[in-house]
Chain A
Amino acid sequence: MFDKAATYEALTSTRLTYEQKLVQLAKQAENGLDVLDIPPRTRHLMQTGAIHDLFEGHAPYRPRYTMPDYGLFMGQGSGFLNLAPPQSLDEALFALMILYRHVPSITSFPVYLGSLDKLLNPFLDGLSDQEIKKKLVLFCTYLDRTITDSFCHANIGPEDTRAGRLLLEVVATLRNAVPNLTLLYDPAITPDSLVEQAISASLVCSNPAICNHRANVDTYPCGYGISSCYNVLPLGGGGYTLTRLTLTRLVEDAKDIRHFLEELLPEGVACVGAYMNQRIRFLVEKSGFFQSSFLVQEGLLHQDRFLGMFGVTGLAEGVNALLKKRGLVYGRDEEANQLGLRILDTIQQQVGQLEAAYSPVYGGRFALHAQVGLDSDLGTTSGVRIPVGDEPEQFVDHLRHSGRYHRYFPAGVGDIFPIAGNVAQNPQALLDVVKGAFQEGMHYLSFYSVDTDLVRITGYLVKRSEMAKHQQGSPVLQNTTHLGAPNYTSNRLADRKVRMV
C-alpha cells in the first residue's frame, strides 16, 4: 500500500540530501506494489519482529548484493558502456569508476568493489610509488564522496602486491568511511609484514578488517569476495536476498527451551525460507533484472551464482531469555554458551533441509549469515556476538567464544574489538592475536583504536564527528551515519570492552 505520509515526509525533509530523498522515494513507490504472497503466520512473525525483511522492499527488482567479476571487465571492457579494456592505471581507475556507477544493490550503490590489489597491480609498471599514490588518493576520494553509503567493500590479499601495500598507505592517510576494506589473510600465502601493515592501518583508520581466507576459500565453487559491511558471497554472483530470524523476538513466545527448539524455531525457519523463495522467484522470473542487465549479458554476473542468505541475530538475548530464571548469561556461563550452540545446531539442521529456489551455487540451499543489526534494534545484539557489558574479562576467552560460533555462518559473521591506543606501538601483538583467533576457528574480525574518529558500528564505519553533526539535525553525506548514530547510542557501543589495555 502506498504510504503517502512517509513519502511526503521524505520528500520535504531537511535532514536528507537530494540523493537520499531519491532513494527513499523509490522505496516508497516499490512498496506501493503488492507482489509477494505472505501467509498470515509469516505476517504475524513480521509484526512481532521475529522475522525481518531488512527493508528490502515489497517488490525486488535487483539482487540485494551483487559481486561483479571486475577482473573479466578489466580484460574485456564493456560493449554496453562502450569501453575498451584499460591499458594504463589511469584508464583502469577510470573504467572502474564508470562501472561502479552502474552496479546495483539494495543500497543503490555497489556493495562490492572487487579485489582492488589484483585489479590494479598489472598497471603499475613504470610508475613511482608517489605517482601511484597520488592517483589512488583521487580514486579513493571519489569513492568516499560518491558512494555515500558505507555498506561498500573492497578486498585485498591474500597475495602480497605492490598495489595492495600502496592502497593500505593511502587508506591510512585518508581515513575515509568508504570503502570498507578487508584483507583476505592466509598465513601460508600472506607475509607477516603485510598483515602488520594492515593492522597498523586499522589502528589509525579502522580499516581493513581481516578475513580468515582458509576458512572461507572453499565455501563456493567460483571463489568468494567480502561485500557490504561483510558478507561472504560467490564471485560473479551474490546474494538475492537476506531475511533474518531475530531470536530476541522469537523467544518471547517460548514456554520453555523444548518448546522453543522443537516448535517455534522450525516454524520460524520454514516461514523465512518460504518468504525468501517468494522474493527469489519474483526477482528471477518477473523483475527482468537477469534478463536485461548488461552485467549479466556481459558475463560479470551469473544468475546461477546467486543465493539466499538466511540471517540469524540476537542469539545472546535469545539464550539469556530462555535461562532467565537461572540467571545464566551468554558469553559468561558455559551452560548458556552450550545452549547457544544447541540453538545454532538446530537452525543449521533445519535450514539445511529447506530447498532454496535458483541457488545451485550453494547446492540449492540457503546460506546462514550472522546478521549484524538495524538502527532500530534495541536490546538485540548482532548475530552471535556477546552483548556489550557481558564480554568475558579476558580477551582470549572472548576470541575463543567467537571461534566456537563462527563456523555456523558461511555467508558471513564477524566480531569487532576496540583496541587500546598504545597497541599501535606493537602491531605484531595484534598479528599474534589474529593468528590465534583464526586457529581457534574465527572467520572474520576487525579492530579499531579507541582513540580514532572512525568507529565500526555493526560492520560498517561511521565517523563519531559525523554522528554528532547528524544528532544536531544537520544533513550528512553518508546515509550510514543515519543508521549508525542511533545504533551507537542504543546498543552502548561506546562501552564495548576495550582490549589489549
Chain B
Amino acid sequence: MTAKAPVARIERLSTVDGPGARSVLFVQGCNLACAYCHNPETQRFCTHCGACVAGCPAQALALCHGQVAWQPERCVACGRCTEACPTYASPRVRWQTAEEALAQVLPARPFIRGITVSGGECTLYPGFLEALFLLAQGQGLGCLIDTNGAIPLWPYPRLMSLCQGVMLDVKAWDATQYQRLTGSAGNQVVLENLAWLQKAGKLAEVRLVVAPGWTDTEAALEGCGRMLAGDAASIPLKLIAFRPNGVRGPLKDCPSPTASQMQALRQQALALGFRDVRVV
C-alpha cells in the first residue's frame, strides 16, 4: 500500500523553514488546536457541507455527489473558502502519494537545498514521510520535519534516519500552560521527544512562539537550556514573536510582544548557553 497524506499547500521557495532555501509541504490535520495558530485552516478536515462553494469567486469549488471538489487550476488562492467554513477547514486539500507530492517540488530543485514538511502536523503521516524522504534524498534534497512533537518520534527509526533533523516547537514548559494553549493534555511527549532528538543528534532547531500572557517562554528557555546543557551551543534556537495575522479564536486580538521583550528573551537564551539565537 502506498501511503498518502493530505497535502494542503506547497511553498516552493521558503526562507523561514530551516537553513537555506527549501520547499515546504504543509499537510492538513493537526492533533493540537493551538490558540495562536496562524494557519488554523490546516487543523481540521473538510466535512463536505458545501458552505464554501457558492462564495468561490473563481468557480474552483463544486459539490459533486456530496463531496466538495476543488479544481486547483482555477483557484486564485483568495482564501474565501476557509473564511466561509464553519469548521475553519480548507477544502483545498489533496490526498497525495509521496511521488505526487515530490513532483510538485521538483521544479524548484536547482534553487533549493532541501525540503521541510510542516503542517498541520506532519508526523501524523509517518509512512508518507518515509516514502517522501526516500525519494527526496534520491534527488539530492535534504529533509527536515517541522513538528509540535506531540507524537513520539522514537518508534520510527527508519524515518528518523532518513530525515536530517527535526525542528521542534516547544510551545510551553508548564503542563497547565501547555493545555490551555493547545487544548491538549500535558506536554510530556514533547519533552521526551526533545530529550530523544538531542541524544539522537536530530534536533535541528528549537522553536518558541512568544505570546504574552499565553506562553511561559522564560520558563521554557530555562527548561530547554537545562535539558540540552552543553549541546545548547550547537542547537539553533528560534524565538518567534506572535503575530495576529491569520489567527482565529481567543488570541486573535492579542498584541505581539515588543522588540525589547524579544531582545530580553534573546539575552536570556544566550546566557543559558545558546549561541545561534534568531528572533523573528
Contact = CB atoms under 8 A, between A and B. Distances in A.
A286 B202 CA distance: 72
Interface string A384-400: 00000000001111010
Contacts of A399: 111
B250 to A, nearest CB: 27
A420 B15 CA distance: 10
Contact of A422 (B16, B21, B22, B109): B16
Contact of A426 (B20, B108, B109): B20
A394 B77 CA distance: 13
A432 B111 contact: yes
Contact of A437 (B12, B111, B278): B111
Interface in A420-451: 420, 422-423, 425-426, 428-433, 435-437, 439-440
A394 B13 CA distance: 8
A500 B13 contact: yes
Interface in B2-47: 12-16, 19-22
Given A422-B16, A426-B15, A426-B16, A435 B280 contact: no
B278 A396 contact: no
A396 B108 contact: yes
B66 interface: no
A335 to B, nearest CB: 18
B113 interface: yes
A422 B280 contact: yes
A396 B7 CA distance: 21
Contacts of A431: 20
Contacts of A439: 110
A422 B20 contact: no
A428 B20 contact: yes
A426 B19 contact: yes
A433 B13 contact: yes
Interface in B96-127: 107-113
Contacts of A396: 12-13, 107-108, 111
A175 to B, nearest CB: 22
B96 to A, nearest CB: 19
Contacts of A500: 13, 15, 21
B280 A432 contact: no
Interface string B267-280: 00000000000101
Main secondary structure, interface of A, reads: helix
A436 B112 contact: yes
B142 to A, nearest CB: 11
Interface in B130-146: none
Given A429-B20, A429-B21, A432-B21, A423 B15 contact: yes
A265 to B, nearest CB: 33
Most chain A CB atoms below 10 A, which of B16, B19, B109, B278: B16
A433 to B, nearest CB: 5
Interface string B227-262: 000000000000000000000000000000000000
A472 to B, nearest CB: 32
Most chain A CB atoms below 10 A, which of B15, B19, B109: B15
B278 A433 contact: no
B240 to A, nearest CB: 11
A90 to B, nearest CB: 39
Contacts of B20: 426, 428-429, 431-432
B200 to A, nearest CB: 24
B176 to A, nearest CB: 33
B280 A425 contact: yes
A425 B278 contact: yes
Contacts of A425: 15-16, 278, 280
B12 to A, nearest CB: 6
Contacts of A433: 13, 21, 111
A394 B12 contact: yes
Nearest to B113: A432
Contacts of B21: 428-430, 432-433, 436, 500
Contacts of A440: 110
A203 to B, nearest CB: 11
Nearest to A437: B111
Contacts of A432: 20-21, 111-113
Nearest to B109: A436
A411 to B, nearest CB: 26
Contacts of B13: 394-396, 429, 433, 500
A419 to B, nearest CB: 9
B263 to A, nearest CB: 15
B104 to A, nearest CB: 11
Interface in A1-41: none
Contacts of B111: 395-396, 399, 432-433, 435-437
B110 A436 contact: yes
A166 B95 CA distance: 52
A429 B19 CA distance: 7
A414 B12 CA distance: 23
B278 to A, nearest CB: 6
B236 to A, nearest CB: 11
A241 B3 CA distance: 63
B63 to A, nearest CB: 28
A176 to B, nearest CB: 27
B110 A435 contact: yes
A433 B107 CA distance: 13
Nearest to A423: B15
Contacts of B15: 420, 422-423, 425-426, 429-430, 500
Nearest to B13: A395
A440 B112 CA distance: 13
Interface string A261-281: 000000000000000000000
B107 to A, nearest CB: 6
Interface of B: 12-16, 19-22, 107-113, 278, 280
Given A422-B15, A426-B19, 5 more contacts: A394-B13, A422-B280, A423-B15, A425-B16, A432-B20
Q: Can you list the 3 inter-chain pairs with the closest CB atoms, starting with the nearest?
A: A436-B111, A436-B110, A432-B21
6 contacts: A396-B107, A425-B278, A428-B19, A432-B111, A439-B110, A500-B13
